Amino acid sequence: MSEQMIRIQLPDGSVREVSRGTTAYDVAMSISPRLAAAVVVARIRPLTPVTTGAAVEDETSEAAMYGAAESGERLVDLAVPLMEDVALELLKESDEAALKVVRHSAAHVMATAILELFPETKLGHGPATDSGFFYDVYRETPFSDEDLAAIETRMAEVVARDEKFLREEESREMGLKDYAEQGEFMKVHFIEKFTQPGDEISLYRNGKFVDFCRGPHVPSTGRVKAFKVTSVAGAYWLGDEKNQQLQRIYGTAFFNTKDLDAHFKRLEEIKARDHRVLGKQLDLFSIQEVAGSGLIFWHAKGGLIRKTMEDWMREECIRRGYDMVYTPHIMRRELWKISGHEGFYSQNMYPPMELDDAEYRLKPMNCPGHILIYKNSPKSYRDLPVRYAELGNVYRYERSGTMHGLLRVRGFTQDDAHIFCMPEQVVSEIEGCLDFAEAVLKTFGFNEYRVELSLHDPKKSGEFVGNPGDWEKAESALKNVLTKRSVAFKAIPGEGAFYGPKIDIKLVDVLGRLWQLSTVQFDFNLPARFQLEYKGEDGELHQPVMVHRALFGSVERFFGVLIEHYAGAFPLWLAPVQIGIVPISEKHVDYAAAVKAKLEAAGLRVELDQRNEKMNAKIREFTLQKVPFVLVMGDKEAATEAVSVRTRGKGDEGSVALADFIERAKALVASKSVAL
């Protein structure tokens, strides 16, 4: 094949020879003009293996916006010349990656509109996000709601102009000179940080607007068809309060109005499920400012749900061979130095407390305490595996602006467990942890989840302890377990714990949102740091391997997710009040009290409303509290030992024998059914 020709492999496996410099758009046109009109962006992968793959980048990071393009699989503009043999995918609007690209392009459209309306503004960066896009800008005058509306209107004009997104390149030195002359201090910073002297930098132009950017983009502004500017928030440049106050303007974009409308409908649903609002309405928990941010007060009803969750977890741990332990809330600072937390995790810990005998720190994790219990007595290979579990309170420093209800707190209860085992036992123990994690999700009503394998990054060796060989063995063990179980997973370099790789299980709630809760971690470092031992079958001393696992993640966070997943309408087995009783009049109160006693004797949680209120008002109150069953009783029910059943979400089901209802309710609780 001529040096002027390259090979293009299509998804169906077919290969085409084309001239070097052919674009993805050219390939699409050669297949079908209709296809060329439909595609948005291209994904390419070199057919010649790349020896060093780039780490997965956060698409909202500045590195992903401005750093040198990776050499492996990547997205490119349709107009970029292809200069090597590649596998080529042509992505249409239905592809998730294409949606991120149109949102990034929408950020450029918004920046165009901002500069046309407010030319004194200086630009930061504008990435796509999972829900839309934003652009950080500097302007001394705050943007008003009227300004945001004007920006959105001007964006529509930029879209209507259908300006092509054109990639240009110039020298790093020229870029620095131009941006410095324009006073674009943030662009100067990004060029200096992410490029080297002598580099060429990439710019994207649409109309008169030019932005320093790695791309890719949709072919033209006209492809940004449905968008909305949503809000503005403040942030300091480089996170330093001594620097300029920036304004972050948020928006979202889709390929059509239908998807845009569905997005905002979904946001309304999310708002209606907000656990902070429901927590107050249903009297589940509170955060008292006089006590401090990020500290949770569990009210009676929330505490009842918590007890039910924790009772299930403890019983399940014991059934699966765990020993329940308890460890102190504070421990000597020296312990955290041995564990490595002092050096690798100190920024997330509260400051040391100086007592009369030593410095102490609040524990951010339970693992060192479990290690000390293990080390307190000699162990033989016959004793292993040893599994310690604890619902232990831990404390982590979170900045005041980062707290979010139950989901981001400073003090929480972690359902922590640590397994000490022989190397040949570790695979089966990890499998057992994954079985347990799946049982947690299924029991609490989550049927879908995603799995990520968080690895170390060899380029960031200072952030991880241990030697590369141990990391490779540990990562290989986790990969093998997931592969053996046919679990699809995404590997993410650089996201492992400082002491070992981990499997993160993200549940998917009823609205399709991902929540990071369960984690299983492999640890070869802490056993070495604490010189843990067991006597092997050969009579020699050996070092055990350690597995960390948390399945709720934290009780607080898991409870917050449960509230939003069920919109506060908990399954019967979790509901704090399972049955509300409404006597029609005062003369039916005695029968209602007798019914209450029988229900409670059957182990059900019941509330009787004896207030001198109308029946419908009482029913409405129980309905607003999302009580699963409301039982109404009058003369007919009292005469026949029956109850009139109103079921949450179904309405009036009529009169049934009390005994039959009790059996129904007990069966729903025993099976932990999500349905009523």
> Which residue numbers are catalytic?
367, 396, 414, 416, 418, 502, 548
The answer for 82, left when phi > 0, alpha when psi is -120 to 50, beta otherwise, is: beta
Instruction: Compute φ and ψ for 430, nearest 5 degrees.
Output: -65, -40
- Residue 548, annotated as binding a ligand: yes
Question: The tokens of 434 are what?
Answer: 């994954």
Instruction: Compute φ and ψ for 449, nearest 5 degrees.
Output: -155, 165
Helices of type H across 530-634: 555-566, 589-601, 615-624
Between CA 236 and CA 243, with CA 242 as vertex, the angle to 5 degrees is 50
The conformation of residue 352, written as its DSSP 8-state character, comes to P
Centre a 10 Å sphere on the Cβ of residue 145 and count the other Cβ atoms it contains.
Answer: 9
Sign, Cα dihedral of 19, 20, 21, 27: positive
Collect all residues with Cβ–Cβ distance below 8 Å to 306 and sequence separation of at least 6: 298, 555, 559
> Judging by DSSP bridges, how do beta strands 579-583 and 606-608 pair with one another?
parallel
> Judging by DSSP bridges, how do beta strands 449-454 and 490-492 pair with one another?
parallel
Contact 526, 339 (CB under 8 A): yes
- Residue 367, annotated as binding a ligand: yes
Distance from C-alpha of 449 to C-alpha of 308, rounded to nearest angstrom: 23
- Residue 433, annotated as binding a ligand: no
Distance from C-alpha of 431 to C-alpha of 235, rounded to nearest angstrom: 44
Question: The tokens of 365 are what?
Answer: 């994790």
Instruction: Compute φ and ψ for 518, nearest 5 degrees.
Output: -80, 145
Q: Determine if the peptide bond prior to 142 is cis (ω within 30°).
A: no
Give per-residue burial for 341-369: e unless 16+ CB within 10 Å, then b: bbebbbeebbebeeeeeeebbbbbbbbbb
Query: Burial, 378: exposed, middle or buried (Cβ in 10 Å; 0-12, 13-18, 19+)?
Result: exposed
- SS3 of the chain: helix, strand, coil, percent, to 5: 40, 25, 35
Question: The tokens of 387 are what?
Answer: 């599994």
Question: The tokens of 573 are what?
Answer: 């087995």
Q: Quick one: three-class SS letters along 70-102? A: CCCCEEECCCCECCCCEEEEEECCCCHHHHHHH
Q: Which amino acid is at 573?
A: W
Centre a 10 Å sphere on the Cβ of residue 324 and count the other Cβ atoms it contains.
Answer: 13
Closest CA relative to residue 389, chosen from 440, 338, 347, 343: 440
Helices (H) and strands (E) in the chain, counts: 21, 32
Distance from C-alpha of 111 to C-alpha of 136, rounded to nearest angstrom: 9
Distance from C-alpha of 574 to C-alpha of 102, rounded to nearest angstrom: 43
Distance from C-alpha of 143 to C-alpha of 249, rounded to nearest angstrom: 9
Question: The tokens of 381 are what?
Answer: 């290979």
Question: SS3 of 400, please?
Answer: helix
Distance from C-alpha of 637 to C-alpha of 582, rounded to nearest angstrom: 12
Instruction: Compute φ and ψ for 25, nearest 5 degrees.
Output: -65, -40
Q: Which amino acid is at 141?
A: T
- Binding-site residue ranges: 367, 418, 548
- Binding-site residue ranges for Zn(2+): 367, 418, 548
